[in-house]
Amino acid sequence: MKKSSLLLFVSMFTVLMMNAQNEQESPQEETTPKTGAGTEYVLGLGFNALNNSGAVFEDLTNSDHWAFGGVPVYLSVETNIASKWKAKATLSHNWAKDGKVVDGSTILGESEGGNDMGYFAFDVAANYYFLGAKTYEPYVSLGMGVSHFGDYTSQENPGVIVDPTDVFTFNFGLGLNVWFSDQWGLNLNTLGKWGVGSSSTNHHQTSLGVLYKI
């Protein structure tokens, strides 16, 4: 599972980078800046931390509430759709290992003879860049997604395997892009995810990564 997920992320990022390089090397006939929808693409790659402790906004500084295991990476692509509006799609992956708190229970991980919890998510969002600045770009994010929580065992009930579950979520968050050149920048993003359904859990995710503008 870990190796196949890493291979998926590496393969997708390689394809996107090859496409970006081909676009840069192709002859450009236009001499005026492109301003329409879909004329600019930004690729993102970085790390994410997941909080599914069930404590809502309590103990946010407690490291046991934040999963950052396995290959905690994300891959994103964003394009402009209207003035100050951009559409973004993100794939993210993480693992909650031994000692991490999930829905109020403490993970009994593989290192202690139990089972770690894998996490995989696909999210789409509409981001509103309210300042219109070039170097610092703060934004508000609104969207939806699907999160997969793998099976795991807990220290409270080591003999019971908690079944995997897929959760549809509505998402809201804030972010900031900082550009160091015309093509390279950094992104900081924090996103709350509210699960749909009585058995669904809410969680939030924070990420930091590198941006490459095509």
In angstroms, the CA 208 to CA 12 distance is 19
Say what the pTM is: 0.81
Domain interval for residue 135: 2-24+38-213
DSSP state of 21: H
Q: Which two tokens stand for residue 151?
A: 């099976």
The pLDDT tens digits of the residues spanning 6-40 come to 444 445 445 444 544 454 444 444 434 455 687 89
Cβ count within 10 A of residue 130:
11
CATH number of the domain within which 70 lies: 2.40.160.20
Assign residue 111 a region: left if phi > 0, alpha if psi is -120 to 50, beta otherwise?
A: alpha
C-alpha separations of 188 from 62, 67, 102, 151, 203 in Å: 20, 17, 24, 29, 18
Give a yes or no: residue 31 inside a domain.
no
pLDDT of residue 64: 94
Confirm whether 32 is domain-assigned. Answer: no
Percent of the chain having pLDDT more than 70?
A: 82
Residue 20, domain member (yes or no): yes
Q: Is the dihedral of CA 162, 164, 168, 173 positive or negative?
A: positive
